[in-house]
Structure 1
Amino acid sequence: MIRFEDHHQEIRQMIADFSDNEIAPKAEQLDESQGLPTDTISQLGELGMLGLTIPQQHGGAELDLLSACLVVEEISRCCGSTGVVLATHLFEGTAAIMNLADDAGHQRWLPKMATGETLATFALAEVEAESDASGITCAVGQEPDGYSLHGKKTWVIAGAMAGLVTVVARNGEESRADHRLSGPWLVRQVDGRWRSRAHIAILTAYVGPPSSGPVAEERLE
């Protein structure tokens, strides 16, 4: 049985008021325009909502998972698009850095993610494999100056807004039959083209040839 403490009720009421006053009036227009909630995400960053689960030493609130779920629930009540962008940042983008990156990675990324300077998202799905990780074909290869990613990802939530994408890819030497994955990988610079619709961004040309420049900043493992 879930037990709500006083601080859960307080944060829920605070974000409910914010959602009713700031998010709900914009939700219909956002849906009609099929836009991205950039202004609202910036406001949530100023309120500290993007750093809910990040440790205080990195600028976050270091609250429990239930608090984060309550915040996402109240925001989604007024605007599902904004809610899913926040949920992906907290539960996939942030979680990947916290659980897989080393101390240097924590220091580099978490403070920016806590303030909203960097929005994080996650890239797993592909057109043919959909969300079946064992069927993905996006692969990472070794280059003289680092790594390169080759393939296509789709249904990347808020990809056009994100400053950090955690990508699930396969080692270039592995076949699909191996059912082994590499990474995740951190990607900042993308040589490709985004097509945005609502809160979904589709990456149609994820990485060009090695001459286009390195895109894999660092490996998390």
Structure 2
Amino acid sequence: MDFTLSAEQAQIRDMVTEFVDEEVVPRAREIDHDDEFPADLVDEMADLGLMGMPFPEEYGGAGLDYHSYAIGLEQISRGSGGLGTVVAAHISLAGNMVYEFGDERQKEKYLTPLAAGDDIGAFALSEAGAGSDVPAMETTAERTTATSRSDGDETTAEREGDEYVINGGKLWISNGSVADTVTLFAKTDPDAGNKGISSFIVRPEEDDGFIVEGTEEKLGDKGCPTAELRFDDMRIPADRRLGEEGEGFVHALKTLNGGRITIAARGVGIARAALDEALEYGQQREQFDQPIAEFQSIKHKLADMDTKLQAAKMLMHRAADKKIRGENFVKEAAQAKLYASEISREVANEGIQIHGGYGYTKDFPAERFYRDAKLNEIYEGTSEVLRNTIGDQLLD
């Protein structure tokens, strides 16, 4: 197995690293404090091709493989966990839904501006009573008859079933208040369980009845707005449905599976930031006439932090490799996301411990890394759900 980065992968790593060091890291504390969507940084990432990394160039993307995408997202998350979520939700969830399940017209019309970074994407699946239990969702999409009147014609022409009327609400939607395109899941057959769920493309600025109820005040992940959405008799054209009716549940599972690789990348990036900060502090802070990093207890902490980080990176790239090869990667993606999520919190926790009292203050970024890391264990599949997924794959 060759672990050497290709020339293109190394180039992507170096380019994103430079951008993050020069533009994101100096702003990270501000983003965390103000909790405002950093539109200017997103525009800069769009100019660099980072908002469409894995999508084909024909649709405005950069045409990168999933290793390069994971490397890029790792570096972005190293600078800001919230910015990492902005990109992951935009590409892995919203954009990937259109790319994988949209027809050619939908890809050209909706994926191209997403991949170019001209539009921002969001993925609306979770509800107050439907998190891990997706079929418990209550949002409905009823196909109905629309009417139109031709210019100069007094008669009304009816077109059977060319609209959906959507009612309900969604919760915990990353990018939900700033998105131009939202991939939305709703029940088209409420009595059919997971086979009654369909997926749609929604355009908030165009679709009357799309309401942003507000955004959450969160522990971490600042800079990425997490919105509560409501749909009141929101009418959308039937040609905005992705695939056939009843395929939405499968769309969601496949999309989340691929997204878990990028949440692993977010975890790796945060763990890297926490380790780098702990290393620097440990070599500068002196106690008993020597840097604290020279004490065996601190040295062992640093060794364990790096070992966990390297193992998480290997799991992340293993899952990416299987995806690129077109092989089943459900177990590998779940393992990568599970392990990277948990070690990012563990590494960040040890980073605080190494900083001592300073680590518990906002004078140092160690506490921010911990707050950002915790989210990895919750969204896009909780650690508990992922363990079930891995177990099911082992027993299958």
TM-score between the two structures when normalised by the length of structure 1? 0.90
**Higher relative contact order (CA closer than 8 Å, sequence separation 6+):** 1
Structural mapping, 1:94-173, within 5 Å: 94-145=95-146, 146-171=163-188, 173=189
In the alignment, structure 1 residue 193 sits paired with structure 2 residue 212: yes
Letter in 2 for 1:39: D
Bigger radius of gyration among the two: 2
Q: 1:208 aligns with which of 214, 232, 235?
A: 232
CA distance 1:42–1:76, change in 2 (3 Å)? same
8 A Cα contact 2:114 2:120, kept in partner: yes
Give 3-state SS (helix, strand or coil) of 1:183's partner.
strand
Q: Please list every run of 5 or more consecutive structure 2 residues that lacks an aligned counterpart in the other structure.
A: 147-162, 217-221, 244-396
Question: Deviations for 1:75-122, whole angstroms, at most 9, x for unmatched residues?
Answer: 000100000110111111111011100011111122211221111110
8 A Cα contact 1:138 1:149, kept in partner: yes
Per the TM alignment, residue 56 of structure 1 is displaced from its structure 2 partner at its CA by 1.4
In the alignment, structure 1 residue 219 sits paired with structure 2 residue 234: no
Per the TM alignment, residue 180 of structure 1 is displaced from its structure 2 partner at its CA by 2.2
Q: What RMSD over aligned residues (CA atoms) do the two structures have, in Å?
A: 1.8
Identity %: 26
Aligned match of 2:46? 45
8 A Cα contact 1:191 1:215, kept in partner: no
Q: Please list every run of 5 or more consecutive structure 1 residues that lacks an aligned counterpart in the other structure.
A: none
Displacement over 3 Å in runs of 4+: none
In the alignment, structure 1 residue 184 sits paired with structure 2 residue 208: no
8 A Cα contact 1:76 1:82, kept in partner: yes
Per the TM alignment, residue 196 of structure 1 is displaced from its structure 2 partner at its CA by 2.7
Give 3-state SS (helix, strand or coil) of 2:64's partner.
coil
- Most deviating of 144-153 and 177-186: 177-186
CA distance 1:87–1:130, change in 2 (3 Å)? same
Q: Distance between the aligned counterparts of 1:216 and 1:159, measured in 2?
A: 21
8 A Cα contact 1:138 1:170, kept in partner: yes
Letter in 2 for 1:174: P
Letter in 1 for 2:73: V
Per the TM alignment, residue 134 of structure 1 is displaced from its structure 2 partner at its CA by 1.9
